[in-house]
Structure 1
Amino acid sequence: MSAGQTRRVALVTLGCSRNEVDSEELAARLAAGGWQVVDDATTADAVVVNTCGFVDVAKKDSIDALLAADGLRAAPGAQTSRTGDGVAPVGDPAGSPGAGPRAVVAVGCLAERYGAELAESLPEADAVLGFDAYPDIAAKLRAVLDGERPAAHTPRDRRSLLPITPVDRGRAAVAGVVVPGHGTLASETARAVAAPVVRRRLDDGPVAALKISSGCDRRCAFCAIPSFRGSHVSRPPEDILAEAEWLAGQGARELVLVSENSTSYGKDLGDLRALEKLLPQLAATAGIVRVRPVYLQPAELRPSLLEVLLTTPGVAPYLDLSFQHASPTVLRRMRRFGGSVDFLDLLRRGRALAPALGARSNVIVGFPGETAADFDILTAFLEEADLDAVGVFGYSDEEGTEAVGLPGKLDPDEIEDRRAQVADLVEQLTAARAERRVGETVEVLVEEISDGGHAYGCAAHQQPETDGACAVRLPGAPGGPGGADGPPVAVGDLVAARVIGAEGVDLVADFVSVLDRARVPGTPPGVREGTAMPGRDVPLAGARA
């Protein structure tokens, strides 16, 4: 590559919305370091794969993505030869657009969790970089392209990096620890990119994740996440509010508040009611029409927080509750609290505050020691809970967790059989719940508009990308409602729509009115966005997973 030529990098993100935030931090750091961030990996000099290390399926997906990125080196005109010091192009000028990447780098949770072990088992990756490499990612990536093969880190329990007691994790204690997604204006990178946050959006959709904290202090027997994400660290509220304003200026209309455990927010700031104070402030951010906290721990959902979550204007009446099971016996073995009685009471209190409440959860089937009676308690709970969406996972051992050593392991075939039974039950129950929403008027944030005259987005009870979607028939669409006054609906508009049908968890609705119009990023409130995102014709229901 000639001197002064801009190097190109593509980012591939696996896993959860927290990883999406981390990828956007990496994009900002790379851009500040002179890299051009591109969407097409075949035009990139380097591909950075932000991996997931949560469960076996996620690990496999991450490894497959790394292998796929490595396979792009063999694209026409991009033949390469591997050397002990890196990757050397053969027969093609270094840096030719479209030649395919010359380096593949693993970052993210899988890289942090396994480090040198991953590097040894996956030579296709030219570097495996942990979280501590993020602040200097631009220079490290340049070194890889220049032929260096940096030594992968030796993983360590990141909980050991901070004081055990949350109140001792003040800013001074956290200052020397890399916590992905917590960049602020105080950093050199933020000043270099002239932004209040270390972040560069990788898409222009109206929904954006906003990280409010990282890490977790709970010790669930099945979960390895705290070991590589670390202890709970809350972001200062002023940093979160500054990022919310920045995201609104970038065109975001809904903020999905992400973390490992959102209900713990503020305990290390000396204020257990910090989230209750923060939510109304976020909802008041100019341009933001919906705030959606997710990753809520039922055992920490005190009544005052529940009330703020479900009665604050601009905060979605929605609960993302990690129940994991309903049998008190199984939950104790998991080192969790509660049971079906407690959880049903929580849902009843929530629906008393917000009758149209949206509620989702995840459950683990086949945990060590789970009996047929425990399984029946779980299915009975699901039948009564009336949840809008449920993720169903079969138990599998995660190295380094307490559950690995528990007695009473079930046969893998039995676990899969129970998982399939619960998944089938959940599919029926959530479809029936969606059918009962027919006749309701819902508020839909428009994310896409098709050429066929339909708008697609999520209602307040639907978390984007996980809980289904709503197809809104616009005036003039075949079979749609009559004409309406005013400009056409655009991406980013918040619209009212009357539900007329359902397919699975997806809804079909007729347009009623525009509640809040989008605006062009960077323009004053009230200036309407003039163009809609090009769409495509898709089935009215079942358009989104």
Structure 2
Amino acid sequence: MKRKTIDIITLGCSKNLVDSEQLIRQLEEVGYDVAHDSENPVGEIAVINTCGFIGDAKEESINMILEFAQAKEEGALEKLYVMGCLSERYLKELAVEIPQVDKFYGKFNWKELLQDLGKAYHDELHIERTLTTPKHYAYLKISEGCDRKCSYCAIPIITGRHVSKPMDEIVDEVKYLVSRGVKEFQIIAQELTYYGVDLYKKQMLPELIERISDVPGVEWIRLHYAYPAHFPTDLFRVMRERDNVCKYMDIALQHISDNMLDRMRRQVTKEDTYRLIEQFRKEVPGIHIRTTLMVGHPGEAEADFEELKEFVRTARFDRMGAFAYSEEEGTYAAAQYEDEVPQDVKQERLDELMSIQQGISAEVSAAKVGQQMKVMIDRIEGDYYIGRTEFDSPEVDPEVLIQRADVTLILGNFYKVEIIDSDDFDLFAKII
């Protein structure tokens, strides 16, 4: 008898990916074959894990649901289930609008899916996952939710209050993943720096990173999605002292003008922000900072945007992304402000900001030519092995390209290279 196959499609961020990986492990345990993000879905059952963060992500999620709903109507699919952030936020509306979906689940009750398939959830496997990433790296989610009250952000509406995962459980998960061949961990949360406040009554991120760092086999730890207000400064010492903690920090700063930081309810000032960046670079020499900025938030005058451009030129971020404000219902900004910056102005500002950063990125890359660096090899693409340094997170950051012609490298292994060339974003290297 042919085992049933389930297709799981994951949209949105790496935090969603972790949920999908946990679900895949549970489904495999109860006898299903699972295909993840297959270009040509093959299963009788499909599960779409949605994103509901901003307009573009919501649109992508809805289009994907409609595409599979059509497949179901045409008889190519028996069952269609939807989970994740969009589903959490618009459960009732979606059920009415897209009746082809057999059931909508929120972000946290996806375990019920197993029950609805007539299977049991195996609690003893709660730290186990079937990785969808290359086997040498994994995303590690240390908390859910967010207690911040940023004006524009719907995440607290979707995920609720900040809930830290117990430290011992995280360390057990790391040990499990190391036993499966994982060497590199991307530490993720909606807000890393708040970790531990609910469970231990104080910020515990530095201690958690030390404990993960102590696990034999952990070669790289990289931190994502920190918040600038009340930053746990003991983390500087941990990053400086621990060789396997990458000198890398992903911290969303969003803006620099005091007017905008106040309107965004960010709980920091321009002075605080500059001081924190200076502290990072002083305390952790060689650190690479990745940030995200926003343009077009209500109230952003031309003077505010000029300040933001000057900030990008002055701070010279090693990695930077930006996006245009989109009004999200239920947020403070949607209730209190008019979305007054025209869409074409938002796009112009976004393009201008990214153009400034492109020049900086090119200079940052060019400065690495001639340096020797440790590189992790991720994959093969055309004539090149594709790798990353400790300063590069998967999917979002520059990569290191090594000609395949005269070397044979093993995926997932580390190699020492010399950087021989660069372009606007990527580096070219040779094995030493």
TM-score bracket, normalised by the shorter chain, equals over 0.9
Match of 1:140 in 2: 116
Q: What secondary structure sits across from 1:368 in the alignment?
A: coil
TM-score (norm 1): 0.74
Q: How far has the Cα of 1:407 moved from its partner?
A: 3.7
Q: Does 1:19 align with 2:16?
A: yes
What residue in structure 1 maps to residue 285 of structure 2?
Answer: 355
Q: Does the Cα contact within 8 Å between 1:366 and 1:415 map onto a contact in 2?
A: yes
Measure the CA separation in 2 of the matches of 1:305 and 1:132.
30
In structure 2, which of residues 76, 87, 90 is the aligned counterpart of residue 114 of structure 1? 90
Which of 269, 273, 285 matches 2:199?
A: 269
Question: Amino acid of the residue matched to residue 511 of structure 1?
Answer: I
Aligned CA distance change for structure 1 residues 399 and 385 (closer, same or farther; 3 Å) = same
Q: Aligned letter for 1:458?
A: R
CA RMSD after TM alignment:
2.2
Deviation at 1:200, TM superposition (A): 2.3
- Which of 411, 421, 430 aligns to 1:501? It is 421
Q: Does 1:343 align with 2:343?
A: no
> Which residue of structure 1 aligns with residue 61 of structure 2?
62
Q: Assess if the C-alpha contact under 8 Å between 2:239 and 2:284 holds in 1.
A: no
Deviation at 1:203, TM superposition (A): 4.1
| Mapped contact 1:258–1:295 kept (Cα < 8 A) | yes
After superposition, the Cα gap between the structure-2 partners of 1:273 and 1:264, relative to the gap in structure 1 and judged at 3 Å, is: closer
Find the aligned partners of 1:336 and 1:42 in 2 and give their Cα distance. 42
Q: Supply the AA of the counterpart residue of 2:293.
A: V
Report if the CA contact (8 A) 1:8-1:44 is conserved.
yes
Match of 1:290 in 2: 220
Residue 242 of structure 1: CA displacement?
0.7
CA contact (8 A) 2:374 2:390 kept: yes
One-letter amino acid of the structure 1 residue matched with residue 416 of structure 2: A
Within the candidate set 435, 457, 460, 2:387 is matched to 457
* Aligned counterpart, 2:347: 416
Which residue of 426, 434, 448 maps to 2:357? 426
1:208 counterpart = 2:138: yes
Structure 1 position 444 matched with structure 2 position 372: no
User: What pairs up with 1:313-392 in 2 under 5 angstroms?
Assistant: 313-392=243-322
Conserved? CA contact 1:441–1:498, under 8 Å = yes
- CA apart distance, 1:337: 2.8
Aligned residues: 429
2:127 and 2:173 in contact (8 A); partners too: yes
Q: 1:307 aligns with which of 237, 241, 252?
A: 237
Q: Which residue number corresponds to residue 51 of structure 1?
A: 50
Looking at structure 2, the residues matched to 42 and 132 of structure 1 have their Cα atoms a distance apart, in angstroms, of: 25
**Residue 116 of structure 1 aligns to which amino acid in structure 2?**
K
1:28 to 22, 25, 28: 25
Deviation at 1:322, TM superposition (A): 0.8
SS at match of 2:101: coil
Helix, strand or coil: the match of 1:387?
coil
User: Matched residues in 2 for 1:446 and 1:72: separation?
Assistant: 38
Moved more, 407-416 or 311-320: 407-416
SS of the aligned residue for 2:94 comes to helix
Shift of the alpha carbon at 1:356? 2.3
Q: Which residue identity lines up with residue 108 of structure 1 in the other structure?
A: G
Tell whether 2:128 aligns with 1:128: no
2-structure distance, mates of 1:188, 1:71: 30
Amino acid at match of 2:231: L
Separation in structure 1 between the aligned mates of residue 59 and residue 374 of structure 2, nearest angstrom: 37
Look up the equivalent residue of 1:135 and give its one-letter code: K
For the pair shown, the structure with the greater C-alpha radius of gyration is 1
Q: How does 1:490-529 map to 2 (within 5 A)?
A: 490-512=410-432
Contact 2:203 2:232 in 1 (8 A): no
Instruction: Name the counterpart of 1:104.
Output: 80
Distance apart, 1:375 and its partner CA: 0.6
**Matched residue type, 1:427:** Q
Q: Is the 8 A contact 1:360 1:390 kept in 2?
A: yes
Deviations 1:347-384 (A, max 9, x none): 22222233321111111101111111111110000001
Matched letter for residue 189 of structure 1: H
Please give the secondary structure, in 2, of the residue aligned with 1:398.
Answer: coil
Counterparts in 2 of 1:35 and 1:394: CA distance versus 1, 3 Å: same
Q: Deviations over 1:68-91 (max 9, x none)?
A: 3334458xxxx42xxxxxxxxxxx
Q: Is the 8 A contact 2:107 2:159 kept in 1?
A: no
**8 A Cα contact 1:51 1:110, kept in partner:** yes
Distance 1:223 1:273, change over 3 A: closer
- SS of the aligned residue for 1:300 comes to coil
Partner secondary structure for residue 437 of structure 1: coil
Question: Tell me, which stretches of 5 or more residues in structure 1 are unaligned?
Answer: 81-99, 144-186, 478-487, 513-545
**Letter in structure 2 aligned against 1:25:** Q
Number of the residue aligned with 1:484? none
C-alpha spacing 1:448/1:132, structure 2 compared with 1 (3 Å): closer
- Percent identical pairs in the alignment equals 30
Letter in 2 for 1:435: A
